[in-house]
Chains A and B, each alone.
Chain A
């Protein structure tokens, strides 16, 4: 049965359904519905909710619980996510399965609470130190938040890697109908690597330092292989009216929804345009995007000064024009604004093609 639920609460409930049994977090708007929901409901499943003294402490508590082999999560918002970056780097290096929710608010600095996607670089390029990548998933609807939360826990365990759900504050606050399908865990091997006390097993060490340079390189090469495996297997995207499209908008999360409405406006004007919506921000869905080689011009629509557009350009190469349109500081464009921006940016290509 479908019920109306806020995005943030749906994520928290989905995490519980997926077997998350520990939550550590520090309150920060606009993510607080997640810890509040956990505080209320974690008891129901016999789990632990603990309010940490800071995001720094929270991410390290998460590290400890993951090291002990339990499904664990934290949720925060942009400035708190910045504070967690060191921990995310350690979690990657110690190869621990952890799910992090970043309910983005606009920055830099203390910024404000409005919708933004300006965490894109921090999320996808490694906000902390060293060569690492978390898997980053960007839902656009509350239903998708549930599906991707289920997926996040499986991916984290499968790759022993941090997985981040990234959504805009506006999406976390939004209510939509949602249905909790039964969570069916992926068949995964037992966590024999976890530090649970030796019992009668061999001793386990979970550390992230490698002082000998030769060994350090070997470790990094091992991680690089994992990164390549994730890059190959975990690209996700959705498309809208792309089948016969000559032009495309590319946008994720809330921008994806705004862009979808813009596609309808432009289609009504006779322009053959579609939407390519990345769901995995890392790995960026390059393979899927490259299938649309006939696209004569792209417009990346983002709530930032232009971040994902770099990945679009890297993906489609220099042969095809890639433009950017965005709003910042918490503002969101109307679909009409996106449609206008598209026509301005790709004016020449539109006229040259005579697609009307």
Chain B
């Protein structure tokens, strides 16, 4: 019998802390798999944020540096500038990357920082218990928008990948999701491409991945998957929003 799936050596044996039905675990695994597939693990330094991806130093088998809330991309900039021959990725949630750290995110993109950012967007502040985030959809009920996100008060959700696709220094910008096997495969391909862009020295690469939060959305894991599709996806531009024109950058 042939092995069709096994735990990647890009992850440690530590079980994750993610809530049941949360798709963060899938995304973490995809990143680790790509690091192994591309033979990057030994020379990778990852930067984790504050938020639901904030404990990933226990899961990734590579070196990890933990950043203050919103500053993962700035820290990753420091790491990469200190060690330009290493592979550097950052992880951020929607609060981290699109609210408190928005200046850092856009500035790193503008500089064409040769790092890869994985932006996990679940439209809510998960770690703090389910408050409204910059990407919460209109009408979404959260602990700080108990009557639903109000456009008058809070405006429309921020489409960060679309914004970044307008920035010259961002070489690759993709907006993907993980609610189905097909989408998971596409997400992995996007991560792979983002990493190749960094290896090729083309500039900043950014992959937004829509993710579920059944606990704070107050739905079952299965409902959460359908919410992702029906409520989140219509809010954001999807697909590869910006691809480098150069040859040699292809998916697996």
Contacts and interface: CB of A to CB of B under 8 A. Distances in A.
**Direct contact between A and B in the complex (CB less than 8 angstroms)?**
yes
Interface of A: 21-22, 24, 48, 50, 52-54, 56-58, 60-70, 72, 86-87, 90, 94, 195-200, 203-209
16 contacts: A53-B104, A53-B107, A58-B74, A60-B67, A61-B78, A63-B74, A64-B77, A64-B80, A65-B79, A65-B81, A66-B78, A68-B45, A195-B79, A199-B43, A204-B64, A205-B57
| Interface residue tally on B, bucketed by range | 35 or more
A196 B81 contact: no
B25 interface: no
A197 B81 contact: no
B246 to A, nearest CB: 25
A68 B68 contact: no
B42 A197 contact: yes
Contacts of B164: none
Most chain A CB inside 10 Å of its own CB: which residue of B45, B81, B104:
B81
Interface of B: 12, 41-45, 47-48, 50, 54, 57-58, 61-68, 71, 74-83, 86-87, 103-104, 107, 111
Nearest to B115: A64
Most buried by B among A24, A53, A70: A53
A53 B73 CA distance: 12
Contact of A48 (B61, B76, B81, B103): B81
A269 to B, nearest CB: 55
Contacts of B81: 22, 24, 48, 50, 61, 64-65
Given A48-B81, A63-B78, A205 B45 contact: no
B63 A198 contact: yes
A157 to B, nearest CB: 14
A150 to B, nearest CB: 21
Given A66-B78, A72-B78, A197 B104 contact: no
A197 B86 contact: yes
A207 B57 contact: yes
From A50, A60, A65, A90, name the one whose CB has the most chain B CB atoms within 10 angstroms.
Answer: A60
